[in-house]
Structures are given as C-alpha cells and as structure tokens.
C-alpha cells in the first residue's frame, strides 16, 4: 500500500496504527508506520497560508480542516490536528491541543487545553484527556507499540503516558501520574508489584507515589524514586465524582 492510501485511510478511520484482538491484546500495525515514514520521506517543506500563514511543514501532511458535518468541536485558540489523524464525531478539542499523524481519537472523547496526542496513539471512546496531559508518540523503532488509552478512561491534569503503555477501560489516572516502561506500579489493593511496563488494569485508580532508592548511601540521603500506586478500583462514589464530564460534553 502506498503512503497516500495509508494517510487517507488513517484519516477516515479505516486503518489504525494498532489493532485489538479478540482476547483484548493490542498489536502494532507495522504497515501503517511504514506508510507514515514514507510520507515524511516524500514530503517537502512548504510555507502554508490562510489560517496557518507563516508556518512551514511537509506539504503532504498539512493540518486538517473540519466542518460542522464532521461533528467535531474544535474550539478556536491554536489547536491543530495533523493529516493522517482520525478524530471521530463527538470529539471536543480545547485550545491549544495537538493531535499528531497516525493518532486515533474515538467518539465522545474530550481533549483539553495544552494536551498532546502523539503519533499513532490510540484513544478510546468517552476518554477525558485533561489539561497538560502528554500522550507519547512513536514511529520508530518500527515494531514499537504506541500508547493505548481504552474506553472511558480518565486522565487527570498533567498526566504523562509514554513508551507504549496500555491503560485499560475505565482506569483513572490522578493528577501528575507518569507512566513509562521504567516506572514501577504497585497495586496496593491486591498487594503486588506489577511488572514494569505492564498495562494498567480496568477501573484502576492510580496516584503518583515514591519508593526508597536502594543502597546504603541513597538511603542515608533519604532519596526516593517515582512510582505509581493503584489505591482502589472504581466504584459508585468515584464514578459520581466524574459524572460532571458528561454535562460538559
């Protein structure tokens, strides 16, 4: 498949940079990533005009233009959705926010101010991406999986999710949580340490935490490293605290 078809089918939602199998596991679509990289290689830097006067980028990956028929609410103020990104009907994008090529944002999701949806990231239905959330993008290495945020997850202000971490349905990440393959996650409910880079379970409520650094010298200095703590799983009380979001949509 040529890169033109890849970009067009990504934008329409026909193709995705990652797909979920019947068991719920996600797999990277290498052909999509190859197509995006080929588009970058074929692109030439040009100056844009109209709404983007003074900006320079690849001629074949311009910012998308929406109409009311798309059903997307893109609020004025500096947001941009790059060509090759899928944004479903019912998505709200507050300024300034950026959605990069290959990303998939499903219906009912809110992308708040200063939020980044990186290359090939997959965002499910009715997800709240709060202010200053950073969802990492990945094009290379070609086989690396993108970040996955499944349906009904809530990402609070300042959350960072990178390096292909999967956040399962209904999970809540508290303000300031950072997840990567080097950050350990402790499940305080089930009293286990999850493997680094493991997915965040369904309905988990995750808060930032710290743990002591190993070694006598580090302990003498009182040094701690960042970690993430699953402190509960969603219940009626936690769901009620998130209910306001449906009104704002």
pLDDT for 73-102, tens place per residue?
999 999 999 999 999 999 999 999 999 999
Lowest mean pLDDT of 48-52, 71-75, 170-174, 235-239, name the range. Answer: 235-239
Query: 19-33, 194-208, 225-239: which has the minimum mean pLDDT?
Result: 225-239
Laid out side by side, the sheet with 192-194 consists of 73-74, 92-93, 110-111, 128-129, 154-155, 172-173, 204-212, 224-233, 185-187, 192-194
Over residues 92-131, the pLDDT tens digits come to 999 999 999 999 999 999 999 999 999 999 999 999 999 9
Give mean pLDDT, residues 30-46. 97
- Are the C-beta atoms of 191 and 205 separated by less than 8 Å? no
CA nearest neighbour of 246 among 33, 90, 25 = 90
The residues facing 28 across adjacent strands are: 18
For 119-167, the DSSP string reads TT-EE-TT-EE-TT-EE----SSTTPPPPEE-TT-EE-TT-EE-TT-EE
52-79: average pLDDT: 95
Name the strand (E) or helix (H) holding 9.
helix 3-12
- Inform me whether the pLDDT recorded for 53 exceeds 90: no
What is the spatial order of strands in the sheet that 98-99 belongs to? 80-81, 98-99, 116-117, 134-135, 160-161, 178-179
Rounded mean pLDDT, 147-165: 97
Q: Please list, in sequence order, all residues whose beta carbon lies within 8 angstroms of the beta carbon of residue 90, skipping any fewer than 6 positions away.
A: 71, 72, 107, 108, 109, 249
**Residues counted in the chain:** 249
Which range among 9-13, 30-34, 82-86, 244-248 shows the weakest confidence by mean pLDDT? 244-248
- Mean pLDDT of all residues in 6-25: 97
pLDDT for position 180? 96
Pairing mode, if any, of strands 45-47 and 56-58? antiparallel
- For tokens 């286990």, what's the residue? 192
Q: Which residues contact 213 (CB under 8 A, 6 or more apart)?
A: 219, 223, 224, 225
Q: Note the pLDDT of residue 242.
A: 64
């Amino acid at each position: 498949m040529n890169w033109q078809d890849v970009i067009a089918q990504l934008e329409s939602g026909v193709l995705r940079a990652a797909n979920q199998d019947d068991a719920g596991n996600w797999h990277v679509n290498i052909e999509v990533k190859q197509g995006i990289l080929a588009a970058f290689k074929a692109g030439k830097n040009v100056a844009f005009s109209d709404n983007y006067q003074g900006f320079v980028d690849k001629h074949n990956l311009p910012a998308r233009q929406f109409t009311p028929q798309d059903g997307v609410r893109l609020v004025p103020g500096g947001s941009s959705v790059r060509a090759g990104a899928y944004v479903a009907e019912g998505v709200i994008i507050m300024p300034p926010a950026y959605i990069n090529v290959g990303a998939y944002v499903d219906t009912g999701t809110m992308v708040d101010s200063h939020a980044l949806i990186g290359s090939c990231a997959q965002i499910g239905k009715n997800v709240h991406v709060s202010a200053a959330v950073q969802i990492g993008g990945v094009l290379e290495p070609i086989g690396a999986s993108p970040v996955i945020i499944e349906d009904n997850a809530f990402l609070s202000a300042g959350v960072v999710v990178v390096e292909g971490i999967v956040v399962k349905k209904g999970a809540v990440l508290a303000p300031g949580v950072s997840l990567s393959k080097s950050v350990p996650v402790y499940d305080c409910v089930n009293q286990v340490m999850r493997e680094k880079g493991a997915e965040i379970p369904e309905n988990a409520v995750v808060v930032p935490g710290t743990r002591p650094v190993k070694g006598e010298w580090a302990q003498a200095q009182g040094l701690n490293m960042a970690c993430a703590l699953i402190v509960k799983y969603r219940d009626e009380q936690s769901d009620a605290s998130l209910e306001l979001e449906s009104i704002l949509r």
